Structure 1
Amino acid sequence: MVLDLMLIGLAIAVFPLSVTAFVLVLSARGGIWKGLVFILAWLACFVAVLAAVLLSTGGEPPPPKSPPSTAASAAKLAIGVGMVGYGWHRHRSRHRNRERTGHRHTSSGGLMARVDRLSLWTAAGLGPLLQPWGLVAAGAATVVSADLSHASSYLALFGYCLLATSSLLAMEVYTTFAPDSARLRLGKLRTWIETHQEQALVSVALVAGLFLVSRSIAQLTS
């Protein structure tokens, strides 16, 4: 369970769409406070999903080969296959779109004006909305095997939540204590992500998807 959660948490932390959105929130007027409520809402939703799973299992992992255990592994397999398919589709469509539309340059001025007008409540709503729900669902299916009678399970769950939120927390802390430097570096990060977003999405989807497929098949056949 620990290895699965750590890889899923890492994939969530570097998911390009979430990181790009958070950089935009931090770059807005009052971005530190908007970023803070974004993270709090993100964490609240994240923890709520895990809590719902643990409440349904009672904190005890189902026996191997039991219907709940098989269903959790099958869910991870389906999510993994879906992510591999998504990554392959994005890889194929990226080249077709480039040939059809050419290179587009979008103006960031209008977008930033809209971001500046975001309220704290809207920023909070974006947190759960922009989570990579496929990966979150894979994490939830993995947490089914958590045994809360052992302290190591609590540590694994805490580490999973922390790792999945680590990129947002790092940017929030950096912006709080070094705003001028953060503005420059996060701007460069945003530009790099927007330039390489398709490649990053494909890579994250394929790596995470193949890992989930291989692990779930091993669990179903062992």
Structure 2
Amino acid sequence: MILDLILIGLAITLEPVPITAFILVLSARKGLRAGLAFVLAWLACLVGVMAAVLLSTGGSPPALHSTPSTASIAVKLTIGVGLIVFGEYRRRRAGRPHRDPAWLAKLNDVSPWTAAGLAVLLQPWALVAAGAATVVQAKVSSFESYLALVLFCLLSSASLLAMELHVAFSPESAGVRLARLRTWLTNHQDQAIVVLSLLLGLWLVGRSIAQLVQ
């Protein structure tokens, strides 16, 4: 469980689109407050999903080859295949000129409530679902296993937390660095999405097939 959650958490925290949107949120007139609202809503989604899974399973995985067990593996397999297909699609389109969505330009004066709603919308729900399916198959009863879930939520939010803290304590240098990061993401967004999608997709497919045949 732990390795799967680490890889999924890394993919979530490195997703280019939420990072780009968060940089714009931090650049807004009430950027620090809006950024905090974004981070809290992002974390709340992750914690809520993990809590719902634990409530439904009681912390005990379903019996091997039972319907719930097979269904959770099938979810991960489907997400893995979807990521591979999406990664290949973006690879073929790489290099083509693209424009930022129109809504990104409207983040210059975003309110904390709007930022919170944006965090919910931009959450990579397919990856969160993969994390939830991983937890369904795990026995969560010890302090270490609960700590792993907490660390998963923090890892999935690490990039946002780092940017928020950087702006809070070093606003001037943070503004310069975040502007550079946004420029880099604009120029390399396709490559980042392709790498993340293909690597995690292949991992999920391989793990899921191994679990189905064991």
TM superposition score normalised by structure 1:
0.91
CA distance, structure 2, for counterparts of residue 196 and residue 78 of structure 1 = 27
Uncovered stretches (5+) of structure 2, i.e. residues with no partner? none
Give the Cα–Cα distance (whole angstroms) in 2 for the partners of residues 66 and 105 of structure 1: 47
In structure 2, C-alpha distance between the alignment counterparts of 1:196 and 1:104, rounded to whole Å: 12
Q: Secondary structure of the equivalent of 1:65?
A: coil
Shift of 1:147: 2.2
Query: Is it true that 1:152 corresponds to 2:105 in the alignment?
Result: no
Deviations 1:21-80 (A, max 9, x none): 111111111111100000001111111111111111111111222221111111100100
In 2, Cα distance between equivalents of 1:184 and 1:54? 42
Q: Where do residues 185-204 of structure 1 align in structure 2 (5 Å cutoff)?
A: 185-204=177-196
Query: Does 2:152 match 1:121?
Result: no
User: How do 1:83-94 residues align onto structure 2 when only pairs under 5 Å count?
Assistant: 83-94=83-94
* Structure 2 CA distance for aligned equivalents of residues 6 and 164 of structure 1: 9
Q: Does 1:181 align with 2:173?
A: yes
Deviations 1:145-181 (A, max 9, x none): 2323222210110110010000000000001000000
SS of residue matched to 2:126: helix
Provide the secondary structure at the position in 2 that maps to 1:52. Answer: helix
| Cα distance in 2 for residues equivalent to 1:149 and 1:198 | 40
1:135 equivalent in structure 2: 127
Query: What value does the CA root-mean-square deviation take over the aligned residues?
Result: 1.7
Identity level (%) = 58
Match for residue 19 of structure 2?
A: 19
Instruction: Measure, in 2, the Cα distance between the counterparts of 1:66 and 1:140.
Output: 18
Distance in 2 separating the partners of 1:190 and 1:58:
42
Aligned equivalents of 2:58, 2:174: Cα separation in 1: 43
Out of 204, 211, 214, the residue aligned to residue 212 of structure 1 is 204
Write the letter of the residue equivalent to 2:17. L
Match of 1:65 in 2: 65
Q: Partners in 2 of 1:117 and 1:6 — Cα distance?
A: 35
The one-letter code matched in structure 2 to 1:90 is R
- The offset of 1:105, in angstroms, is 7.3
Aligned-partner residue type, residue 32 of structure 1: L
In the alignment, residue 142 of structure 1 is paired with which amino acid?
A: T
Q: Could you state the TM-score of these two structures normalised by the residue count of structure 2?
A: 0.94
Q: Distance in 1 between matches of 2:85 and 2:99?
A: 28
The residue that corresponds to 2:7 in the other structure is: 7
Q: Deviations over 1:103-137 (max 9, x none)?
A: 4677x9x955x212211110110111101111111
Give structure 1 stretches of 5+ with no counterpart. Answer: none
